[in-house]
Chains A and B, each alone.
Chain A
Amino acid sequence: MPASVSVKMYNQLNLGDCFLLTFSEEEQRSFVLIDFGSYESGNDDREMEIAEDIQKTVGNQPLTIVLTHQHRDHLSGFISCVSVFKKMKIREVWLSYLDDPGGPEAITMRKRTEQFWNKNKRIKKLVKDKFNSVASVRKMLHSKEGFDLFAEDQTGGEAITNLLTWSKNKKKFLIPGQHFDLPLIGNDQVKVYVLGPPTDPELMRKLNPGKGEGVHGLGAMMELMNMDTSTNLMADALSSLSSSVTTTKSMENFPFNKKYSTHDGDQRDLDYIKGLYNKKDNAWRRIDHEWLSEVGRVSLHMHSLTNNSSLVLAFELVESGKVLLFVGDAQIGNWKSWKDVSFENTNVDIYDLLTRTVLYKAGHHGSHNATLLESLDLMNTEELVIMVPVNEKISKKRRFSMLRPGMMLGYNRKTCGRVLRSDTIFHKADSTNCYKFPFAKTDKDFKPKIRIGKDNTGGHLFIEYVVT
């Protein structure tokens, strides 16, 4: 019997990822849990329900846990469900090299990230205090909250500490290009390939010439530094505008020497310009608040930065040649780097893996910028299934660009309708969505490859799909 795998996609009743993979080959089993979290806090009960199902499935056999990246919607379960996990046998934890708590670049990154969130909080407060009456600013702040919630008040540290405690510090920090046999199952049955996060070889070459050991993720570090500069600039400007904060000399002299801001002598020219700006007829041309958009931009930027640090894994069932692709929340930058990854001593590359993909875990809950269309085009197997962990309610409430028609159309086209969503079992062909979903129209269509797990209230707890 060739190796097979069952994939359980859990329904958090919230936005978040949680996948339990059970690989089987003859009598052997290997369990891998990829991510476990909810976007909104206060979802502890549901998370417990899920954790218990995981425990029931795995029993007292060893479990490998993968954490793709440090966003709340991928890890909160590792904090809320300590009582369950600590009873289980966690054999090893897999993280990206960027999440290595002891790695020098990870330490710097973490320090910088923490700094960023602190400054970000301060800026938010300053903007709110001063400009909350402006509609466009208020909208921006609201939208910013939505983005920041993914990662603010970093819960990552605690989750990773928990994971390492449970695994008794057994861990792997994965780097693109690594490939190995999946443990606990016969050799050459299931292979794991690491594709992301990008290591930015070009930057490595430029900034670290000749040194033996590589410094990874420098691109991300530079971006963080740029964002730090930007938040500082905003903080300076905002605090000088607020009377309660004393300004420093460097703030006063940026961008110009202070003397240019204070005017003595003839005021006529200055009054002329002020008059033009303040003229009532010209109110539509004023620019009092446009600059605050930078406050929103840093959130967006930080968000994609973290998503691009996602660990990306491909699991290959060697005998059948089928590939499962789990991309975390990787965004375009991450995808683009895969073509430069080479797996030593194999004939495998990204094109090969993509063309053999039979199950794709949609990146970032199906957001438009989380799947590179060129890559999706390569996934051409007839049995391709796309799993989208998503929650329509939350996505709508926060106005995230998930479940967007363009992307969903693309998914459906590629799979002939075999798109599975975590928040709903059946896709109704109603007036707003007249595409037929030939695969998941009725209960019968699911068999025998799909199983629905019921929860305590009669809803569905998970959708399980089997690849043989």
Chain B
Amino acid sequence: MVKRYYRKLRGYAFDPSFSSTIERRQTNEVIYKIKWEKISPGPCGDYIEIIDYDPTKQVFYEPLNLIEEYVLSDYGLPLSAGDPKFHQQQVYVVVMSIISQFEKALGRKVIWSRMIDKDDSGRTEFNHEFVEKLRIYPHALRQQNAFYSPQKVALLFGYFQAAEHWTGNNVPKSAVFTCLSPDIVAHETTHAILDSLHPYLRKDTNDDMLAFHEGFADIIALLQRFTFQSVVEEQIRNSRGDLLSPQNLLGDLAIQFGQAVSQNRRALRSFLVENDKDGKIQLIKPDPSKLASTTDPHARGGILVAAVFDAFARLYKHRVANLIRLATNGTGILAQGEIDPDLVQCLSKEACDIANKLMLICIRALDYCPPVDLDLGDYLRALITADVEHSPEDEDGLRYGLLESFRSWGVVPTDVNNYSVESLMWQPLEEYADKKTQVDALKKAIHYIFNPDMGSRYKRGYIANTRINEVIRSIEKILRENERKAIFEESKRLCAAVHYMFDKKFAYYVEDLEQLLGMNFKDISYHFEDRVFGREIKLRAKARNVFQVYRCRPFIQHNNRTGNSSKLLLITFLQKVYVDLKGSSYQGFFLDDKYDFRGGSTVIIDLSTYEIKYAIVKKISSSQRLKSQLEYSMNRIGEFENAALLMQSEEPFAALHIH
């Protein structure tokens, strides 16, 4: 039997409501190549189920059946904004493309899950549950909104009626569907995947958590546009190769992107280009001081997008300089008229290549993020670390492009004292741990927990590890298994076993060992200045000897360039304490006058040597972090007041997206 690799389906490359112009007619239809999978009507595949139910009409639209003859024989259904079945196809191809981008970058499966905090009787019970498929409702709302619902593990897309006035390519009164916009679908899908990887990034504890979620989703949506070389070629032809001219590719892209996600999410529109006095589109000059004075999550997210896209622009300019020299006999000035088709091809190839590499690194950086309280500076450090890991020599100059653009947008970490690759990379444990004895003890513990030689065999200085086979078996099974449910369940088992052993080991070797990993099992006291009257504030959290091994994920990272492959293990430690606010100026504002404060670390271990490559720590005992979280939450309290009105008590992303 012939093995199928791809299912090819037609779809829009841009939102059709913004591209129904004659120039766009051809480029807008593209063929999406989707990994072959067994599929039921919906379409419902391994990862997603599309259920086209419109609750505003209480109507089910007939599902697309991809194995029907007439669909199968000709790249799926023809493009049609007026046929719900085609909408299902469009959503299917975009969501699946994004999923496979993530899998390609991370080298592992995307797995959905949900956290259940309460059981049916309302008793608090933590449970992390496998969810087989992300559910997608292409026509769920009658509003200019689309969102990811962590509670339902679902994407809800809205549709609306174009306004009565004629702006842009708008046709008054026509139906506009958010599910037809690849940008919006990519954006929402990214929210869902990011949440599946880092559920604690949804907890809104500082200026940057929501900003990051938004900005990151925009980055992926934007870079995703460069996956179709034909589309890029068209743009390059029209712009005569000048990507950086705001009137052309960049401006065009950004404006379209802005229009598509309009009103609510203007990230790119307002951070990359602006209209000058004559109504001409201008590039916005990066302003490093802007970030400090911006608090709105979308605006901060916009700065992140701008920084990444700026890096893209710099890299492109740098990379194509030689091509342009070649094509112009060294003058750098292109002849008038259309540029050479070969040159178009070469330039587009470069643009797509850079975009692709940037996207990979942006996704890989997720593995190098702290488990809680992420800020944009942390993300830059994660980007740099991920890039060093994957391309130690920086052949493409990616790191320097990122460094340059992030600096010019003012996205710099606060905790490094110089702005170089070496200091921006996360440091190995030895670099910042005070006590060498602790580091050694932790290394010993890791050796003990993961080294198969520590099994039943007695070794001097060690007690035999009776659960070692369990751990080894789990690691092996996770690496071998292809079925997502099995991987999920096995990972849970591994987490439990690893947790059990760390729990035993923390106290065993040396006191306060857990503190290396950002936790603290003793009473914690916090001291900081009250910002209103300069008074000293003292808060306490009772000792809580409870922690979570939230993730424990082995993965193999193969580097095509160096030929090396690393066998890594990523562990996330999380601890929660309850800070007592009674008697302080924070009394009366939080439930039971307690503040749930989290700390912990993301630890990356090299399985071949049992060395800790990186430990990315957010200390639970940090007064500074507690202070800024409390102040941040106090300032935000008012903003949740409208939750009932917007029926969003449980939907963090719905509120964020509404205009």
**Could you tell me which A residues sit within 8 Å of B by CB distance?**
136-137, 139-140, 142-144, 147, 202, 205-206, 222, 225-226, 228-230, 232-234, 237, 240-241, 254-257, 260-261, 263, 269-270, 272-274, 276-277, 284-294, 296-297, 299-300, 367-369, 373-374, 399-401, 404-407, 409, 412-413, 431-436
> B40 contacts which chain A residues (CB < 8 A)?
272
Which among A273, A369, A432 has the greatest number of chain B C-beta atoms within 10 A?
A273
Interface string of B632-659 (1 = CB under 8 A from A): 0011111101101111110000100010
Q: Are A435 and B638 in contact, CB atoms less than 8 angstroms apart?
A: no
Q: Are B41 and A272 in contact, CB atoms less than 8 angstroms apart?
A: yes
Which among B160, B295, B531 has the greatest number of chain A C-beta atoms within 10 A?
B160
Which among B40, B152, B532 has the greatest number of chain A C-beta atoms within 10 A?
B532
How long is the Cα–Cα vector from A254 to B177 in the complex, in angstroms? 12
Q: Are A368 and B154 in contact, CB atoms less than 8 angstroms apart?
A: no
Contact size range, B = 35 or more
**Could you tell me which B residues sit within 8 Å of A by CB distance?**
40-42, 44, 49, 51-53, 55-63, 65, 82-84, 135, 137, 139-143, 151-154, 156, 158-165, 175, 177, 275, 279, 293, 295, 531-533, 583-585, 587-589, 634-639, 641-642, 644-649, 654, 658
Q: Are A276 and B44 in contact, CB atoms less than 8 angstroms apart?
A: yes
Write the chain B residue with the least CB distance to A256.
B84
How long is the Cα–Cα vector from A105 to B82 in the complex, in angstroms? 37
Q: Are B645 and A144 in contact, CB atoms less than 8 angstroms apart?
A: yes
Q: Are A230 and B160 in contact, CB atoms less than 8 angstroms apart?
A: yes
> B161 contacts which chain A residues (CB < 8 A)?
229, 232-233, 254
Inter-chain pairs besides A230-B143, A368-B638, A374-B293, 6 sampled, C-beta below 8 Å: A137-B647, A147-B645, A229-B160, A254-B161, A256-B82, A291-B56
Q: Are B53 and A285 in contact, CB atoms less than 8 angstroms apart?
A: no
How long is the Cα–Cα vector from A276 to B41 in the complex, in angstroms? 11
Q: Are A139 and B60 in contact, CB atoms less than 8 angstroms apart?
A: no
Number of A-B contacts (CB under 8 A): 194
How long is the Cα–Cα vector from A409 to B63 in the complex, in angstroms? 55
Q: Are A273 and B60 in contact, CB atoms less than 8 angstroms apart?
A: yes
> A272 contacts which chain B residues (CB < 8 A)?
40-42, 63
Q: Are B583 and A263 in contact, CB atoms less than 8 angstroms apart?
A: no
Chain B: minimal CB distance from A336 (Å): 11
> B583 contacts which chain A residues (CB < 8 A)?
431
Q: Are B644 and A142 in contact, CB atoms less than 8 angstroms apart?
A: yes
Q: Are B135 and A296 in contact, CB atoms less than 8 angstroms apart?
A: no
Given known A-B contacts A226-B163, A399-B644, A409-B634, A290 and B51 have beta carbons under 8 A apart: no
> A435 contacts which chain B residues (CB < 8 A)?
532-533, 585
Q: List 18 A-B contacts (CB under 8 A).
A: A136-B644, A136-B649, A139-B644, A140-B646, A143-B642, A144-B645, A225-B164, A254-B161, A255-B159, A257-B82, A260-B62, A272-B41, A273-B63, A286-B152, A369-B639, A404-B637, A405-B634, A406-B635
Q: Are B647 and A300 in contact, CB atoms less than 8 angstroms apart?
A: no
How long is the Cα–Cα vector from A257 to B62 in the complex, in angstroms? 13
How long is the Cα–Cα vector from A369 to B635 in the complex, in angstroms? 11
Q: Are A229 and B634 in contact, CB atoms less than 8 angstroms apart?
A: no
Closest 5 CB pairs of A and B: A368-B638, A406-B635, A401-B641, A401-B638, A269-B41
> B532 contacts which chain A residues (CB < 8 A)?
409, 412-413, 435
Given known A-B contacts A254-B175, A287-B154, A434-B585, A261 and B57 have beta carbons under 8 A apart: yes
Write the chain A residue with the least CB distance to B589.
A405
Write the chain A residue with the least CB distance to B53.
A277
How long is the Cα–Cα vector from A240 to B636 in the complex, in angstroms? 39
Given known A-B contacts A222-B163, A434-B585, A300 and B642 have beta carbons under 8 A apart: yes
Partner of A269, one of B65, B84, B649: B65
Partner of A285, one of B55, B153, B159, B641: B153
Chain A: minimal CB distance from B520 (Å): 28
Write the chain B residue with the least CB distance to A370.
B638
Q: Are A233 and B142 in contact, CB atoms less than 8 angstroms apart?
A: yes
Chain A: minimal CB distance from B539 (Å): 13
Partner of A405, one of B158, B637, B648: B637
Q: Are A293 and B648 in contact, CB atoms less than 8 angstroms apart?
A: yes
Main secondary structure of the interface of B (DSSP, over half): loop
Q: Are B638 and A367 in contact, CB atoms less than 8 angstroms apart?
A: yes
Chain A: minimal CB distance from B49 (Å): 6
How long is the Cα–Cα vector from A233 to B162 in the complex, in angstroms? 11
Write the chain A residue with the least CB distance to B177.
A255
Given known A-B contacts A293-B648, A401-B641, A237 and B82 have beta carbons under 8 A apart: no
How long is the Cα–Cα vector from A292 to B140 in the complex, in angstroms? 10
How long is the Cα–Cα vector from A373 to B638 in the complex, in angstroms? 14
Chain B: minimal CB distance from A298 (Å): 9
Which among A228, A263, A286, A369 has the greatest number of chain B C-beta atoms within 10 A?
A286
> B61 contacts which chain A residues (CB < 8 A)?
256, 260-261
Chain A: minimal CB distance from B658 (Å): 6
Partner of B647, one of A140, A256, A286: A140
Chain A: minimal CB distance from B138 (Å): 11
How long is the Cα–Cα vector from A276 to B53 in the complex, in angstroms? 11
Q: Are B154 and A285 in contact, CB atoms less than 8 angstroms apart?
A: yes
Write the chain A residue with the least CB distance to B294.
A374
Q: Are B654 and A234 in contact, CB atoms less than 8 angstroms apart?
A: no
Q: Are A406 and B637 in contact, CB atoms less than 8 angstroms apart?
A: yes
Q: Are B641 and A233 in contact, CB atoms less than 8 angstroms apart?
A: no
Q: Are B82 and A291 in contact, CB atoms less than 8 angstroms apart?
A: no
Given known A-B contacts A269-B62, A412-B532, A413-B531, A276 and B51 have beta carbons under 8 A apart: yes
Q: Are B57 and A287 in contact, CB atoms less than 8 angstroms apart?
A: no
How long is the Cα–Cα vector from A454 to B165 in the complex, in angstroms? 55
> A232 contacts which chain B residues (CB < 8 A)?
161
Write the chain B residue with the least CB distance to A373.
B295
How long is the Cα–Cα vector from A284 to B41 in the complex, in angstroms? 22
Q: Are B55 and A290 in contact, CB atoms less than 8 angstroms apart?
A: yes
Q: Are B533 and A290 in contact, CB atoms less than 8 angstroms apart?
A: no
> A260 contacts which chain B residues (CB < 8 A)?
61-62, 83-84
Chain B: minimal CB distance from A216 (Å): 17
> A296 contacts which chain B residues (CB < 8 A)?
642, 644-647
Partner of B42, one of A140, A202, A273: A273
How long is the Cα–Cα vector from A202 to B637 in the complex, in angstroms? 33
Chain A: minimal CB distance from B645 (Å): 4
Q: Are A300 and B177 in contact, CB atoms less than 8 angstroms apart?
A: no
Q: Are B160 and A276 in contact, CB atoms less than 8 angstroms apart?
A: no
How long is the Cα–Cα vector from A120 to B146 in the complex, in angstroms? 23
Write the chain B residue with the least CB distance to A407.
B638
Write the chain B residue with the least CB distance to A436.
B533
Which among A256, A406, A432, A435 has the greatest number of chain B C-beta atoms within 10 A?
A256
> B279 contacts which chain A residues (CB < 8 A)?
205-206
Partner of A294, one of B141, B153, B154, B164: B141
Write the chain A residue with the least CB distance to B582.
A431
Q: Are A406 and B135 in contact, CB atoms less than 8 angstroms apart?
A: no
Q: Are B160 and A293 in contact, CB atoms less than 8 angstroms apart?
A: no
How long is the Cα–Cα vector from A29 to B357 in the complex, in angstroms? 72
> B634 contacts which chain A residues (CB < 8 A)?
405-406, 409
Q: Are A293 and B647 in contact, CB atoms less than 8 angstroms apart?
A: yes
Write the chain B residue with the least CB distance to A252.
B57
Q: Are B51 and A277 in contact, CB atoms less than 8 angstroms apart?
A: yes
> B587 contacts which chain A residues (CB < 8 A)?
431-432, 434
Q: Are A291 and B642 in contact, CB atoms less than 8 angstroms apart?
A: no
Given known A-B contacts A225-B164, A432-B587, A287 and B52 have beta carbons under 8 A apart: no
> A277 contacts which chain B residues (CB < 8 A)?
51, 53, 60
Chain B: minimal CB distance from A290 (Å): 6
> A205 contacts which chain B residues (CB < 8 A)?
279
Given known A-B contacts A137-B647, A222-B163, A399-B644, A241 and B58 have beta carbons under 8 A apart: yes
How long is the Cα–Cα vector from A255 to B54 in the complex, in angstroms? 10
Chain B: minimal CB distance from A370 (Å): 10
Chain A: minimal CB distance from B45 (Å): 13
How long is the Cα–Cα vector from A315 to B137 in the complex, in angstroms? 54
How long is the Cα–Cα vector from A432 to B583 in the complex, in angstroms? 8
